[in-house]
């Protein structure tokens, strides 16, 4: 029997039974250290003899570049942006993620449909509609939700090189007087959307408030359990 | 998208939306007539979002599109059309004319193997047309028109991506036959008005104008005119 399944109406012509690898998702708001952890996990997994594919948003061959441009111009409406992201995701799912799973890879993905849904919801898209649209996505083996509260998040962003960024502050939504106000409101809103998904989708919460050397061993051990479980 | 996302059939606008599947000429003639009657019209066509169109064009040229991404990129383009080209003029009371609509996607995507339910859910944000016209053309007539005229048949247009036949003309024939089947099913599902496209252009246009004319009663040009009169009043100087 196939280990994998789709959330809803799946992709045409995919033999789920052929998918042998593991699909592991790291989710969380901006600034929680997802890419650092993915880099470390990849190294660790490869050291233990596993082939790894890592992937993330706006990296598709089909739409990635134009999607980044669309963001820079920020002239596209909320539904259009949501579907543009869905196109980017579908391209990576069909052309990177599924072939890698077929070949028995561990796929580490920096964000998945949950971030896409949370961002679309705060921009007015209906949650039920998004669930239908993303019905073609594969259910992952595990979703690790790196969680930071809003105060820690602000500190983390202030310490980073770039500071507050237009999109991470949700400036397109006109939520506050300045980037700081907007950032706090936007990220708090996203956090509440993520928190709603914890039970629905079975997120495993990882407290991301400590330094990397404290957070990583916990994450690594949990990933190890997934990788070692049934037939990989 | 403020104020929540409205779904198919739930939008309430003062304007009217007429869509045409299959005959651009008929839509153009309809627009000429509406304008001569004093209506404010706005035209919207398939693949018209500049940024999205780039992706679609490149994806087609390099044959990178799967049935799923083919479906999603066209839905993205259609969303841009809806958010920028269809909803604002409808709110302003205009008569919007759309060349190809969601039914084009439903027909093509389902023939490509995408789930009929999924693609209908995908386009749930679309505005339901006041009237949707489907110009019914028999397969052999459609074949003659395409093979007789213009450029070579394109890869995706012929459905070559789903491997119906190695021969592009044969693939096109098989693909179009299935597309027609899908449209026939949609006539009842969506209440499309089927027009016999084998009759003369003039006969078809007369029928279209009669149906549109009936659908305009109640809103009418007087309302559009009143809106325009107010706009010109607002420009005038104070007493």
- CB distance from A49 to chain B under 8 Å? no
**pLDDT one-digit tens code per residue, B19-32:** 999 899 999 999 99
Q: Cα(A206)–Cα(A216) distance, rounded to whole angstroms?
A: 10
Highest mean pLDDT among B143-147, B205-209, B221-225: B205-209
- Cross-chain residue pair A66–B55, CB shorter than 8 Å: yes
Q: How many CA atoms lie within 13 A of A66 on its CB side?
A: 24
Determine the residue of chain A that is closest to B3 in CA distance: A124
Q: pLDDT over 90 for what percent of chain B?
A: 63
- Cross-chain residue pair B55–A62, CB shorter than 8 Å: yes
Provide ipTM, 2 decimals: 0.89
Using only C-alpha atoms, chain A has a radius of gyration, in whole angstroms, of 17
Q: Cα(A103)–Cα(A97) distance, rounded to whole angstroms?
A: 10
Least CB-CB distance to A84: which of B4, B52, B122? B52
Residue A108 belongs to some domain of the structure: yes
Distances (CA, A) of B225 to A94, B35, B92, B95: 52, 12, 12, 12
**pLDDT one-digit tens code per residue, B151-207:** 788 899 889 988 899 998 899 999 999 999 999 999 999 999 999 999 999 999 999
- Cross-chain residue pair B1–A78, CB shorter than 8 Å: yes
- CB contacts of B113 in chain A (<8 Å) are 12-13
Residue A1 belongs to some domain of the structure: no
Q: pLDDT over 70 for what percent of chain A?
A: 97
Determine the residue of chain A that is closest to B121 in CA distance: A132
With a cut of 70, say whether residue B100 has pLDDT above it.
yes
Q: Cα(A18)–Cα(A11) distance, rounded to whole angstroms?
A: 14
Structural domain harbouring A30: 20-149+201-228
With a cut of 90, say whether residue A162 has pLDDT above it.
no
Residue A214 belongs to some domain of the structure: yes
- Cross-chain residue pair B51–A66, CB shorter than 8 Å: yes
Confidence of residue B228 (pLDDT cuts 50, 70, 90): low
Of B236 and B157, the one with more pLDDT: B157
Best to test chain A binding among B2, B7, B8, B52 (most A CBs inside 10 Å): B52
Confidence of residue A167 (pLDDT cuts 50, 70, 90): confident
- CB contacts of A83 in chain B (<8 Å) are 72, 75-76, 79, 122
Of residues A184, A146, A121, A120, the one with CA closest to residue A28: A146
Question: Which CATH architecture group holds B16-136+197-213?
Answer: 3-Layer(aba) Sandwich (3.40)
Structure tokens at B214: 């009936």
Confidence of residue B235 (pLDDT cuts 50, 70, 90): low
CB A25 within 8 A of CB A109: yes
With a cut of 70, say whether residue B221 has pLDDT above it.
no
Q: Where are the alpha helices (DSSP H) in B81-200?
A: 87-91, 102-111, 116-122, 139-148, 168-190
CB A79 within 8 A of CB B72: no
pLDDT attached to residue B181: 96
Confidence of residue A97 (pLDDT cuts 50, 70, 90): very high
pLDDT attached to residue A192: 94
Least CB-CB distance to A62: which of B49, B51, B69? B69
- A145 backbone dihedrals φ, ψ, rounded to 5°: -100, 105
Angle at A67 between CA A141 and CA B91, to 5 degrees: 110
Q: How many CA atoms lie within 13 A of B104 on its CB side?
A: 20
- A73 backbone dihedrals φ, ψ, rounded to 5°: -80, -20
Determine the residue of chain B that is closest to A13 in CA distance: B113
Residue A188 belongs to some domain of the structure: no
Q: Cα(B50)–Cα(B56) distance, rounded to whole angstroms?
A: 10
**pLDDT one-digit tens code per residue, A125-143:** 999 999 999 999 999 999 9
- Cross-chain residue pair A124–B64, CB shorter than 8 Å: no
What are all long-range contacts of A62-69, with beta carbons under 8 Å and residues at least 24 apart? A62/A87, A62/A88, A62/A91, A62/B55, A62/B58, A62/B59, A62/B64, A62/B65, A62/B69, A62/B73, A63/A87, A63/A88, A63/A91, A63/B55, A63/B73, A64/A88, A66/B51, A66/B52, A66/B54, A66/B55, A69/B51
- CB distance from B196 to chain A under 8 Å? no
Q: What is the mean pLDDT of chain B?
A: 88
Of residues A79, A81, A136, A147, the one with CA closest to residue A113: A136
Interface size, chain A vs chain B, as Cβ–Cβ contacts under 8 Å: 104
With a cut of 70, say whether residue B8 has pLDDT above it.
yes
- Cross-chain residue pair A129–B124, CB shorter than 8 Å: yes
Q: Cα(A154)–Cα(B188) distance, rounded to whole angstroms?
A: 55
How far B68 CA lies from chain A's nearest CA (Å)?
Answer: 7
- CB contacts of B80 in chain A (<8 Å) are 76-77, 80
Of A64 and A86, the one with more pLDDT: A86
Residue with tokens 């009936």: B214
- CB contacts of A129 in chain B (<8 Å) are 5, 7, 121, 124-125
Instruction: Summarize the confidence of residues A149-176 as an average pLDDT.
Output: 82
pLDDT attached to residue B223: 47
Residue A87 belongs to some domain of the structure: yes
Rounded-to-10 torsion of CA A151, A153, A156, A157: -110
- CB contacts of A95 in chain B (<8 Å) are 66
pTM for the full predicted model: 0.89
Residue A186 belongs to some domain of the structure: no
Q: What is the CATH number of the domain that holds A132?
A: 3.40.50.300
Highest mean pLDDT among A26-40, A88-102, B52-66: A88-102
Q: Cα(B108)–Cα(B104) distance, rounded to whole angstroms?
A: 6
Question: How many separate domains does chain A show?
Answer: 1
How far A128 CA lies from chain B's nearest CA (Å)?
Answer: 10
Q: Cα(A50)–Cα(B201) distance, rounded to whole angstroms?
A: 66
Of residues B47, B48, B39, the one with CA closest to residue B14: B39
Q: Is B3 left (phi over 0), alpha (psi -120 to 50) or beta?
A: left
**In whole angstroms, what separates CA A128 from the centre of its chain?**
19
- Cross-chain residue pair B83–A80, CB shorter than 8 Å: yes
Q: Where are the alpha helices (DSSP H) in A54-123?
A: 64-73, 78-92, 98-102, 113-122
Name every residue whose Cβ is closer than 8 Å to that of residue B66 and which is 6 or more positions away in sequence.
A90, A94, A95, B161
Q: pLDDT over 90 for what percent of chain A?
A: 65
- Cross-chain residue pair A129–B67, CB shorter than 8 Å: no
**pLDDT one-digit tens code per residue, A175-230:** 888 888 888 999 999 999 999 999 999 999 999 999 999 999 999 999 999 999 86
**pLDDT one-digit tens code per residue, B115-134:** 999 999 999 999 999 999 99
- CB distance from A25 to chain B under 8 Å? no
**pLDDT one-digit tens code per residue, A4-61:** 999 998 888 889 999 999 999 999 888 888 999 999 999 999 999 999 999 988 788 8
């Amino acid at each position: 029997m196939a280990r994998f399944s789709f959330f809803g109406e799946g992709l045409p012509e995919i033999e789920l039974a052929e998918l042998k690898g593991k699909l592991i998702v790291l989710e969380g708001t901006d600034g929680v250290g997802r890419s650092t952890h993915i880099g470390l996990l990849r190294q660790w997994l490869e050291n233990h003899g596993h082939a790894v594919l890592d992937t993330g948003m706006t990296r598709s061959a089909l739409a990635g570049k134009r999607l980044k441009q669309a963001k820079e111009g920020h002239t596209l409406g909320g539904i259009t942006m949501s579907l543009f992201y869905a196109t980017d995701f579908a391209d990576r799912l069909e052309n990177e993620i599924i072939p890698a799973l077929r070949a028995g890879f561990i796929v580490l993905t920096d964000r998945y449909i949950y971030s896409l849904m949370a961002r679309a919801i705060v921009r007015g898209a209906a949650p039920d509609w998004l669930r239908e649209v993303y019905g073609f996505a594969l259910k992952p083996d595990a979703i690790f939700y790196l969680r930071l509260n809003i105060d820690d998040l602000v500190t983390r962003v202030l310490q980073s090189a770039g500071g507050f960024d237009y999109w991470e502050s949700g400036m397109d939504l006109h939520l506050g007087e300045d980037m700081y106000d907007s950032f706090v409101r936007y990220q708090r809103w996203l956090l509440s959307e993520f928190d709603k998904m914890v039970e629905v989708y079975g997120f495993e919460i990882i407290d991301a408030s400590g330094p990397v050397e404290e957070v990583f061993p916990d994450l690594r051990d949990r990933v190890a359990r997934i990788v070692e479980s049934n037939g990989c | 998208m403020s104020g929540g996302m409205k779904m198919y059939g739930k939008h309430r606008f003062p304007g009217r939306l007429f869509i045409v599947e299959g005959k651009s000429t008929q839509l153009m003639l309809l627009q000429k007539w509406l304008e001569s009657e004093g209506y404010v019209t706005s035209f919207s066509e398939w693949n018209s979002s500049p940024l999205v169109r780039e992706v679609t064009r490149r994806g087609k040229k390099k044959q990178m599109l799967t049935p799923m991404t083919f479906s999603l990129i066209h839905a993205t383009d259609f969303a841009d059309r809806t958010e920028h080209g269809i909803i604002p003029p409808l709110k302003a009371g205009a008569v919007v004319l759309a060349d190809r609509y969601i039914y084009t996607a439903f027909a093509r995507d389902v023939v490509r193997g995408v789930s009929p339910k999924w693609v209908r859910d995908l386009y749930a944000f679309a505005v339901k047309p006041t009237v949707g016209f489907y110009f019914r053309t028999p397969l052999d007539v459609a074949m003659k028109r395409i093979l007789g005229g213009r450029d070579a048949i394109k890869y995706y247009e012929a459905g070559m991506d789903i491997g119906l036949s190695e021969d592009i003309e044969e693939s096109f024939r098989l693909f179009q036959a299935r597309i027609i089947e899908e449209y026939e099913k949609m006539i009842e599902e969506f209440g499309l008005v089927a027009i016999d496209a084998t009759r003369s252009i003039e006969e078809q246009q007369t029928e279209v104008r009669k149906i549109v004319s009936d659908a305009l009663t109640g809103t009418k040009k007087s309302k559009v005119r009143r809106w325009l009169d107010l706009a010109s009043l607002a420009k005038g100087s104070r007493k």
